[in-house]
Each structure stands twice: as structure tokens, then as C-alpha cells.
Amino acid sequence: MNDDEPVLLHTEGHILHITLNRPRALNALTHTMVRGISEALTLAAQDDAVTGVVIRGAGGRGLCAGGDIRSIYEDARAGRRASVDFWRDEYRLNARIARFPKPYVALMDGIVMGGGVGVSAHGDVRVVTERSRVAMPETGIGFVPDVGGTYLLAAAPGELGTHLALTGRAVGAADAILCGLADHFVPSHHLDDLTTALARSATPAEVTETVRRYAAEAPEGELAAHREWIDDCYAADTVEEIIDRLVDSGLPDAKETADALLAASPTSLKVTLAAVRRTGRLGSLEAALDQEFRVSCRAFTGHDLVEGVRARIIDKDRAPRWSPAEARDVTSAEVARHFEPLGDQELGLSSV
């Protein structure tokens, strides 16, 4: 194991440990890391001595803050297509994690956003802590939830998933569990004890049971108390009507949410709303990933992704100039264009 490698692998007892190792970048995913995780899963699936996999992040601040947004920005500005190749392999990895034949334990401690959700929340044993902050924050940078995020959020209770998809808001442990993004709460100071105990798990069933033994009740979340206005406002058919309902509700939290939506990319909001609603009818993660790949490819060639990353990451002026600047000017034809088939460039997971 070379500590300079972006993905570290080691076996402890019966468990293969995968550690994302770019702590200064909050373990943001690169194409090399995606390939490394996939290769590790191939080894683990074939090794009868391995009863489960644990994935975690180095540095103590989080599992993974998402994809390497700066490289995507540079790729888009230069007219290259490396980001499309990255997404193709990343989404395939997301599907593979969901179908992995052995327990896949994701330690979602600290920051878990975007691509970090993709390498964790599709696993079958997902652990959050009091430090967890889980989000799909794409609309704030002119993008749309991907890595199977629309599939996960479409399955959340009521309109909670729509709320999180449009706002990009980060949630803690209890709310991540409520929304189906995680399974168990384990206090962060018990994670090392948990991983030591997992090493003694001689069967897949023992892996799952060991996590349950360390699980506790999560500190109270926030979303359950807001379900009434969230479900009412986000049941609207359009982004414009959702914002109107939030403003008209007279509730400070709803008004604050409306302000957050008004600051996001109008195109991203409309495409995200359509994506979540469509995904709820697709029936499988693979079909959702196929749809997300189409949307990502179209967003990659649009204006708002480059502009959003510029404002948030590059210049950090927090003043993106979206085009169109208002939701009412984003046409239904423009939204529909994001979902059109890619011909021979399709991801094709649902047809395998």
C-alpha cells in the first residue's frame, strides 16, 4: 500500500478496506479513483476469504466531497470530452456497488456530497455519524443530481427528495436515514472499534450484524418537522409554482428555501424537477443512471455548468450569471432536450 496513491487498499481480517486518499481535496473523485475502486471490487468479489468491503475517506473531514469539479470546468471550457468518459465509468461503478454480491459498508462520516453519495448510498450497509453532512448540491453550480442521486431522492418519503434535489441542502444523520440515503447511525468515536470488530466477521451475515450492534439512535433531525409545508409546496407541477407556494406559505423556513431556489440555476432547477419526476417512473437504478448520463452530457455543453463552477470554485464571487436568468424563460423544449437519446453514445446500463 502506497500512501501517495489516491485509493488505498488493505485487508484486515475478512474485510477489504478501500480508503479514498485525497484529503486536501476532501477526497474528490478522479477518473483514476473510480477505476481503482472498481478494480478493488473485482478483487473482493473473487476472493472467498473476503466477506465484505468497507469504504471510507482519509483525513477525517469526510468520505468524499464529489467529483473533481475544477477538472470538469477546465475540460468543458477547452471543448474536451474527458468528463463524459469519467461519468460513463463513474455511473457504471455506482450500479456495480448497488449489485455487489457481498456487504458493502460505507462509512459516511463528515462531508458526503455528489459523487461521494454515489460511492456510498448505493451500498447495502450505510453508516452515518453526528458529523455527517450528506447532499446532492448540483443545482448551485448549474448541474443536475447524478450518480443515481435522482433514483435515491425520488424514493424518499413525500416530497423530501424533491426538496433536497432542488435546494442541494445538506442533511445530517437522522435526515439522511429518513430520506433513504443511509441506514445506521454510529457515533464517530466508535468507528475504529466498528472496523476492528468487522475484521472478525467470518460471513456476510456477520458483517451486517456487527454494524447493527454498534448502531445507536441518531440525534433528532430537522426534516420531519417540516414535512407538511415541504409536501404541499413541492407537489406543484412547475418550479415557478413551487417557489410561489413557498413564498405564499408565510413560513420563514419556506421563504428562506424560496430564496435559495431563486439563487440556483433556473435551467438546472427545471431539468432536476423533471429528472426526479421521470425517475420515479423508471423502475430501476440502471434506467435512472442511463437518464442521468443523457442529462449530464447535455449539461456539460451548456452555459450554466461552466458559469456555476466559475462563480463557486474558480473566481469565488458567488455571483453566477445564469442563462436564462429566470425560470419562466427556460422553455419546455430546452428541458426536454436534456433527456433526448444519445444514439450510439448511450450509457446502456438498463439494456445489459
Residue 352's pLDDT band, with cuts at 50, 70 and 90, is low
How does pLDDT run across 174-197, given as a tens digit for each residue?
A: 999 999 999 999 999 999 999 999
- Would residue 228 be called left, alpha or beta, if left means φ above 0 and alpha means ψ between -120 and 50 degrees? alpha
Q: SS3 of 274, please?
A: helix
Q: Give the single-character DSSP code of 341.
A: -
Q: Is the pLDDT of residue 141 over 90?
A: yes
Write down the catalytic residue from 36, 57, 114, 115: 115
Residue type, 259: D
How does pLDDT run across 65-110, given as a tens digit for each residue?
A: 999 999 999 999 998 999 999 999 999 999 999 999 999 999 999 9
The predicted pLDDT at position 1 comes to: 52
Write down the catalytic residue from 90, 109, 124, 138: 138
How does pLDDT run across 281-332, given as a tens digit for each residue?
A: 998 999 999 999 999 999 999 999 999 999 999 999 999 999 999 999 999 9
Residue 216: how many other CB atoms lie within 10 Å: 11
Write down the catalytic residue from 75, 109, 124, 146: 146
Per-residue burial over 124-157, b = 16 or more CB atoms within 10 Å of its CB, e = otherwise:
bbbbbbbbbbbbbbbbbbbbbbbbbbbbbbbebe
Residue 148 catalytic? no
Cell numbers of 67, please? Answer: 467529483
Q: What is the mean pLDDT of residues 16-25?
A: 97
Residue 138 catalytic? yes
Write down the catalytic residue from 66, 67, 114, 142: 67
The Cα–Cα gap between 308 and 137 comes to 12
Residue 146 catalytic? yes
Residue 180 catalytic? no
Cell numbers of 154, please? Answer: 425520488
Is pTM, for the whole model, over 0.85?
Answer: yes
The Cα–Cα gap between 97 and 38 comes to 9
